[in-house]
A and B are shown apart, each in its own frame.
Chain A
Amino acid sequence: MSRRLQTIFFPAATGALVIAAWYTIHALLSEDLRFLLPTPTAVMTAFRTHADSLTRAALNTTQGALLGFALAVTVSSFLALALSLSRLVRIGLYPYLMILQMTPVIVFAPMLVVWVGAGLKSVTIITFLICFFPLVVNTTQGLISTDRNLVELFAMWRTSRLQQVLYLRVPAALPYFFTGLRIAATLAPIGALVGDYTAGSSAGDGGGLGFQAIIYSSQAKYAALFATAATTCILGFIFTAGVLSLSWLVLHKWHDSYETTDK
């Protein structure tokens, strides 16, 4: 079997097995418990029945995820630059960044609702908090890991500090930055969903997938709940695909993580 065919066949086979197991378990359950595990067919039907509200919720969640993600990328890049330029700033701030990361975001949620109100603002801030840490850690690491030989070369050329940052440290940090970006991209839709679940608002059709999840679970619409989960999953894939493409565009020509065939 060709490599290409393998990459299609094996995931498809796994999927078929999982779905078969799913139907089997459903069939094995006693009649009165079957509602607890809706079949894939039932989930597909729920997708169609709730298409409008799911689409609207998905768009709202995407908005929160994108805003929080963009905010995290911007703030973390500047912070990473500051952290990389001074060891004192680094050791001074790092424990507090850790504390911020260790504190469960859900604890902040009620506070955020009080401060900025439930809805998009809170969702954005919660997404930001969840995406922020892997970005700042990876980017800082990249900015301080510049090849010493290259730093020496720039010293030989008597470049300014700014030139060294722009032409050496920043491009050298890009692979690390993209590692952080990939992690953050998988976290962003989940962050927005958690944010929506804990600090969302349905005012003016502003509810997202987290809000939809609350509604469906309270109404015991489990098939719709599965459809909500699947929608979040698709969002995550779209985010990740976007970041992977961007990473490929920027790095494939020169970075070793992308193999070269034209040696």
Chain B
Amino acid sequence: MPALLPPIVEFREATKRFGEGPLVLDLLNLTVQPGEFVSLIGPSGCGKSTLLRLIAGLTPLTAGSLIVDRRSPDAAAADLAFVFQEPTLLPWLSVAANIELPLSLRGVAPAERSVTRRRVLDLVRLSEKANAYPRQLSGGQKMRVSIARALALSPKILLLDEPFGALDEMTREHLNEELLTIRERHAWTAFFVTHSVAEAVFLSNRICIFSANPGHLYTEIPVPFPYPRTEATRRSRPFHDLVADVSRILRSVEPDTV
């Protein structure tokens, strides 16, 4: 990544605790360049989800500083989109209406909304489901709609909190590839929380491994494989080696769960 551009997200000695509770994030320093795909991995309670919520401006820092797109997180909120672990679709709205909802809440005109909706539904290959209701979709399809809704906002930064955690392995791998394909056309910066090392290695150009108590950035590992990555990448020897390396480091910071 060219280091000459101003970073899109920069944490400096960032510290977070909720009320009088324990430290959730301790003295985090993290600089991310535009267009990076950063995976956050670590044991539960290591603050990786909190990190996403901080970038999203859903909760304030306790100490230190955080710059998002040269602004405060709250000021940058319109350029962010969040994909939660649950698809969080509104069950009473059709797929089309779900995708258009955030746009209409922002006052985007109906004609423009439907153009955007068609574009993003096409990206996730669900155009034929525009009029379906969420309960008529499979888990993977719901998640694709959720991603389409996030993309409809044309975000500069996409925050994904274990979006594929509830899906089966096959669906997850398909959606991983799909996500990278979409990203080739729209160079948003991604923060991706996951528990799957293989997923993190496949998707990202950098993996941040966190340790818990207090939440702390343990180490960063660059992923050297060039994009576009495909099924062949996943079967290659270097891929497996890196997955093994990351898993080993993860085990060392997560001794209780092994």
A interface list, Cβ under 8 A from B: 147, 149-150, 152-153, 155-159, 163, 167-168, 171-172, 174, 253-256, 260, 262-263
- The interface size bin for chain B is 20 to 34
Sampled A-B contacts (5; CB under 8 Å)? A150-B90, A153-B82, A157-B102, A158-B78, A254-B134
Per-residue CB contact flags for chain B residues 87-106 toward chain A (1 = under 8 Å, else 0) read: 01011110000000110011
Q: Taking CB as reference atom, which chain B residue is nearest A256?
A: B135
B interface list, Cβ under 8 A from A: 56, 58, 77-78, 80-82, 84, 86, 88, 90-93, 101-102, 105-106, 133-136
Q: Taking CB as reference atom, which chain A residue is nearest B132?
A: A262
Q: Taking CB as reference atom, which chain A residue is nearest B134?
A: A254
**Bound state CA distance, A236 and B91, in angstroms?**
32
Residues of B with C-beta under 8 A to A256: 135
Q: Are B91 and A254 in contact (CB under 8 A)?
A: yes
**Bound state CA distance, A255 and B135, in angstroms?**
8
Q: Taking CB as reference atom, which chain B residue is nearest A155?
A: B58
- A150-B88, A155-B58, A156-B56 given; A262·B136 CB < 8 A: yes
Instruction: Indicate which residue in A150, A155, A163, A254 contacts B133 across the interface (CB closer than 8 Å).
Output: A254
* Chain B CB within 10 Å, residue with most, of A152, A168, A171, A256: A152
Residues of A with C-beta under 8 A to B84: 149, 152-153
Q: Are A159 and B91 in contact (CB under 8 A)?
A: no
Residues of A with C-beta under 8 A to B56: 156
Residues of B with C-beta under 8 A to A174: 92
Instruction: Indicate which residue in A147, A167, A253 contacts B105 across the interface (CB closer than 8 Å).
Output: A167
Residues of B with C-beta under 8 A to A156: 56, 58, 77, 80-82
Q: Are B88 and A149 in contact (CB under 8 A)?
A: yes
Residues of A with C-beta under 8 A to B106: 157
Q: Are A260 and B105 in contact (CB under 8 A)?
A: no
Q: Taking CB as reference atom, which chain A residue is nearest B80?
A: A156
Distance in Å from the Cβ of A160 to the closest Cβ of chain B? 9
**Bound state CA distance, A153 and B81, in angstroms?**
10
Distance in Å from the Cβ of A205 to the closest Cβ of chain B? 45
**Bound state CA distance, A147 and B89, in angstroms?**
11
- A254-B135, A263-B136 given; A167·B101 CB < 8 A: yes
In the complex, besides A149-B88, A262-B136, 11 extra interface pairs with C-beta distance below 8 angstroms are: A152-B58, A153-B82, A153-B88, A156-B81, A157-B102, A158-B77, A167-B101, A254-B92, A254-B133, A255-B91, A256-B135
**Bound state CA distance, A149 and B134, in angstroms?**
15
Residues of A with C-beta under 8 A to B134: 254
Instruction: Indicate which residue in B81, B86, B105, B135 contacts A149 across the interface (CB closer than 8 Å).
Output: B86
**Bound state CA distance, A150 and B82, in angstroms?**
12
**Bound state CA distance, A150 and B87, in angstroms?**
10
Distance in Å from the Cβ of A257 to the closest Cβ of chain B? 11
Distance in Å from the Cβ of A261 to the closest Cβ of chain B? 10
Q: Are B136 and A260 in contact (CB under 8 A)?
A: yes
Residues of A with C-beta under 8 A to B105: 157, 159, 163, 167
Residues of B with C-beta under 8 A to A172: 92
Residues of A with C-beta under 8 A to B133: 253-254
**Bound state CA distance, A156 and B84, in angstroms?**
11
**Bound state CA distance, A159 and B133, in angstroms?**
23
The 8 A-B pairs with the shortest beta carbon distances in the complex, nearest first, are A254-B92, A156-B82, A149-B88, A254-B91, A254-B133, A171-B92, A153-B88, A149-B86
Q: Taking CB as reference atom, which chain A residue is nearest B146?
A: A153
**Bound state CA distance, A263 and B82, in angstroms?**
28
Distance in Å from the Cβ of A157 to the closest Cβ of chain B? 5
Distance in Å from the Cβ of A50 to the closest Cβ of chain B? 47
Residues of B with C-beta under 8 A to A155: 58
Residues of B with C-beta under 8 A to A150: 88, 90
**Bound state CA distance, A78 and B40, in angstroms?**
45
